[in-house]
A = this chain, B = another copy of it.
Amino acid sequence: MRMDRIVLAGDLAGTMVFAAEGAMAAIGRGLDVFGVVVVACVVALGGGIIRDVLIGDTPPSAVRDWRYPALACLTGLALFAARHVLRPVPAWYPLAVLDAAGLSLFAVTGAEKALSRGLVPLGAALLGMVTAIGGGVMRDILVNRVPMVLVSDIYATAALAGALVVVAGHRLALPGRPVACAGAATCFGLRLLALHYGWHLPGATPPS
Interface residues of A (CB under 8 A from B): 26-27, 30-36, 38-39, 49, 53-56, 58-60, 63-66, 69-70, 80, 83, 114, 117, 119-123, 126-127, 137, 141-147, 149-150, 153, 156-157, 200-205, 208
Contact = CB atoms under 8 A, between A and B. Distances in A.
B144 A203 contact: no
Nearest to A200: B32
- For this chain, the copies found in one complex come to 3
Contacts of A121: 66
Contact of A83 (B149, B150, B204, B208): B204
Contacts of A70: 122
Contact of A201 (B32, B49, B144): B32
27 contacts: A30-B203, A30-B204, A31-B203, A31-B204, A32-B203, A32-B204, A33-B201, A33-B203, A34-B153, A35-B153, A36-B204, A38-B149, A38-B150, A39-B150, A54-B60, A55-B63, A56-B59, A59-B114, A59-B119, A64-B120, A69-B123, A70-B122, A137-B142, A142-B150, A143-B146, A144-B144, A144-B146
Contacts of A123: 59, 63-66, 69
A38 B117 contact: no
A149 B38 CA distance: 9
A194 to B, nearest CB: 12
- Nearest first, the 5 closest Cβ-Cβ pairs linking A and B are A56-B58, A32-B203, A30-B205, A63-B123, A32-B201
Contacts of A59: 54-56, 114, 117, 119, 123, 127
A54 B54 CA distance: 10
Nearest to A160: B34
Nearest to A31: B204
Nearest to A41: B126
A85 to B, nearest CB: 13
Given A30-B205, A69-B122, A119-B63, A35 B127 contact: no
